[in-house]
Structure 1
Amino acid sequence: MSAIVDPPLLPLPDRVAELVSEMACPPRLAAHLRAVHDAAHQLIDWMERHCPALHFDREAVLFGAATHDIGKSVHVSELSGPGAAHEEAGRTLLLGRGVSPELARFAATHASWREPGIGLEDLLVSLADKIWKNKRVPDLEDLIVARLAEATGGAAWEEFIALDEVLSHIGDTADERLAFQASFPIHS
């Protein structure tokens, strides 16, 4: 059997690595957070190049992507099965460790992208949480396409094509990220 080679993923931000350590997060959770953070980084790098007129908080998106599932450190069964208990638990855990409500919210909102008034940062964290494994969600992508078209003044179909291209590119390496995550145990 051949060993899994780590894909070239960006490390978690220092503050997030500290939180993961403090919370004794399961190894698979830390790997998942790293994979989603890396996908978010690729996505927002593209967005900044493609649409400089679209303003969003880059650091908030990266922090949100890197911590979105932190609540699974206490709801470990949700690492391998369905469940939403980790969402509010994650927000509460982050708030309890001094993370601002503006950043802690992503743990609770990453699955709530259909809510009215959801911010672009929340949409980007939600999209990164899907595309890291090459899952495409047309309704979510349409919300981002609308924001892009509004900012660029371009046609929605043109923005769709541009977004589709970058999401396909990120999705092309999903198997490597999935194998990386699966190479870590659920329990410490």
Structure 2
Amino acid sequence: MSNSTERYQKLGLRESLTRIYQYPIACKELSSILRGAYGKLPKNLQALIFQDTLTAFRLLPEMQTRSANAAAQLLLQSAESALPKQKKSLVVTEFKQAKVAYIRRSRAHREETVSAQLPQDVLVHIFSLLDLQSLISVTLVCRSWSLAANDSHLWELQYTTVFGRSKTCSRTKMQQSSRLVKEDYMFLKENGDTKTHIHWKESF
């Protein structure tokens, strides 16, 4: 084992990459080595650095910090400028896969945080204060908000507000818009249930 390889291993970059608070520093160290000396290093050391670069990208989804994401981006740029074509292609592919996983985990984490902070019944109560356009908008925020915003009670309130109390809505438009609800109502009435299962959202 060459002296340069020993010195590199003593840096402990691979181990540092597994720790969330050391990951950005390790990525920056790898980036610096790639840009500054990669082409002059022994083949066995180049292989170690290449494997550590791949490891850095594979671990990115677990980090979930802005500094980790920025450091990984910098490492990618350094790898693209220093590595030969075949290795560069492998690194880019690994980074793209890691980035997709990173975004998915980040999105799932945000949804879990929102769900933990606001129970569904609280969300439904808050959404009951919104107008129609705002209610539609909140369905796009995250999965838990979408579930709450599609609560039948909310859409019953919206239906009552738009068609039951509006003085500007024409009789023809009201009849057309409420046709589905009336059909559901008559069907449920025949079956002894007129309080639930009406598709209020679909009536718009």
More RCO (CA 8 Å, sep 6+): 1
Q: TM-score, normalised by structure 2?
A: 0.26
Between structure 1 and structure 2, the one with the greater Rg is 2
| TM-score of the aligned structures, taking structure 1 as reference length | 0.27
